[in-house]
Structure 1
Amino acid sequence: MFAFAPLDAVVGVASTAVDALAAGVAPLAGGTATAIAIVLFTVAVRLLITPLTVAQVRGERRRAALAPRIAELRRRYGSDPAGLQRELVDLYRTAGASPLAGCLPALLQAPFFLVMYRLFTSGDPDVLAGELAGVPLGHHLTDGLAGAAGPLFGVLLLGLLALAWLASRRMRRTMAAGAALPGGSAMAGAAGPGGAAAGDAAPGAELLGRIMPLLPYGTLPVALVVPLAGVLYLVTTTAWTALEHTVLRRERAISPPTLDRNS
């Protein structure tokens, strides 16, 4: 799966980087050096793509700022779809925003996450070398829970569950805030560009509103089938996402967004 030359080449470079980090911390970390290297490498990659996340947050703020005006246009051009489309394009152009501003950064991040997933689940003997709390990094849940494996996997899975719950709760609050905007709907914060759902009548909006908050829990079934190294990666990257949300979106929670082009 995912086995083709370009991806394997990038994964090879990533594997070399993890090995170098492990060698660097080995004098202090001993047998846990590779586990620590996985965490450090994951954080380094997330820092590398932070500008994409910042761009995504800015796109969300601009769309939120435009939401009241979009709602007014929908009221005025409810029976004229072509006219509504023209006015929306003009509004986005005038505001210096883009209906895809919040989507493209997320799409651009996908290759990074694919490489990371492949790296920590490929069975590379170098990456899976070492151990954590006496458990080999290549150990799977299906290999048994004897000794330290049971408590270790239990702690990591509980951590993932807690992070998923926080992400789901945050998503529900974002959707509720979108519903409070003029002309907003339950999917205003998640249905797409500028609250693309046209009120509560948007096709599939109610179903999507129920499914979206469940998506963060998707890390749990993945954690059940990947080796310990993959679980450690999932916990690290999910925790980083929670930290990013707290830091980057804090200002948005304190003050309402504006249409300042330099924001």
Structure 2
Amino acid sequence: MDLLSFPPLAATLDAAYALLMGLADLLQPVAGAPSAALAVIVLTLLVRAILIPTGVAQAKAEQTRARLAPKLREIQRRFTDDRERMSRETMKLYADEKASPFAGCAPVLVQAPIVGIVYALFLYPAIAGHPNALLTEELLGVPLGTSLAGSILGGAATGEVALVFGVVVTLILAVAELTRRLLRPATGSADAAPGGEALIRMAGFLQFGTAVVALFVPLAAALYLLVTVSCTLVQRLMLRRRFPIEVGVRE
């Protein structure tokens, strides 16, 4: 069953579609043909602005995890052979610190439905029973419903398609590399879980997965991904300054 066909979700998706196309109409006199693509960018910026509080909550949770990491590692060291005692001491530590081990999960759960609705605008050929006109709009001659992989497999790839997707994917890769370098965690900041440092290093390389996804989704979704990763990088850099992570501190 398609969840987005559920009446409340379908109505929400249709309202988001109306907002997006309204933005495109508003921008058309200024932007001309690329107005729909610009509307995608503007809508994405609006969504990222709405989700700023969840980013703040995630930054606070990250700061708390880093602050408690030395104590958590000590608990693990002391109770390696007693998992039940380790779990009790871990929960006691979080309770004493008035923190939650799940603090970073709630913001993700809040973001998911909002991001899901917006992302669906760029994937579904029909919205609430009517055609998704957004996907027929163009950017530099390339319809926003075109995917690079689909064009290649369908034998419809053109120089314009290669150029537009090449620029978008290259920019996503550049942002991913900046994210990996600028937000690379110091060794002492890794979570106390066994293998935590290796998992964090691996997560840095997973940033590049967004560029791979952009090859297979419609151009509208690829633009959304580019703006999203760019905004996320800027936001995280700003929040990292507001909520700095001290590493290597043992009490």
Contact 1:53 1:106 in 2 (8 A): no
Give SS of 1:15's match.
helix
Give SS of 1:120's match.
coil
Q: Distance in 2 between matches of 1:79 and 1:222?
A: 42
Structure 1 residue 40: deviation in Å?
0.6
Structure 1 residue 111: deviation in Å?
1.8
* Matched residue, 2:231: 240
* Matched residue, 2:169: 157
Q: Report the TM-score when normalising by structure 2.
A: 0.82
Q: Distance in 1 between matches of 2:214 and 2:243?
A: 32
- Which of 223, 226, 232 aligns to 2:217? It is 226
Contact 1:156 1:235 in 2 (8 A): yes
Q: Percent identical across equivalent pairs? A: 38
* Matched residue, 2:96: 94
Alignment of 1:130-149 (within 5 A): 130-141=137-148, 142-143=150-151, 144-149=156-161
Contact 1:139 1:227 in 2 (8 A): yes
Structure 1 residue 91: deviation in Å?
1.5
Structure 1 residue 236: deviation in Å?
1.0
1:180 aligns with 2:188: yes
1:197 aligns with 2:197: no
Gaps of 5+ in 2: 127-131
* Matched residue, 1:127: 134
Structure 1 residue 133: deviation in Å?
2.1
Structure 1 residue 170: deviation in Å?
4.9
Alignment of 1:1-263 (within 5 A): 3-5=4-6, 6-124=8-126, 125-141=132-148, 142-143=150-151, 144-170=156-182, 173-174=184-185, 177=186, 179-180=187-188, 188=190, 195-198=191-194, 206=198, 208=199, 211-253=202-244, 256=246
Instruction: Note the aligned Cα RMSD (angstroms).
Output: 2.5
The one-letter code sitting in structure 2 at the alignment partner of 1:212 is: A
Q: Distance in 2 between matches of 1:140 and 1:67?
A: 43
